[in-house]
Amino acid sequence: MTDPKPYSRPPGRVAGIDYGTVRIGIALSDPERKIASPYENYTRRGKEPDARR
Percent of the chain with pLDDT over 90: 64
The pTM for the full model equals: 0.68
pLDDT at position 52 = 84
pLDDT at position 5 = 65
In this predicted model, what pLDDT tens digit does every residue of 35-47 receive, in sequence order?
999 999 999 999 8
3-state SS class at 40 = strand
Contact at 8 Å (CB) between 27 and 15? yes
- Higher-confidence residue of 2 and 33: namely 33
pLDDT at position 43 = 95
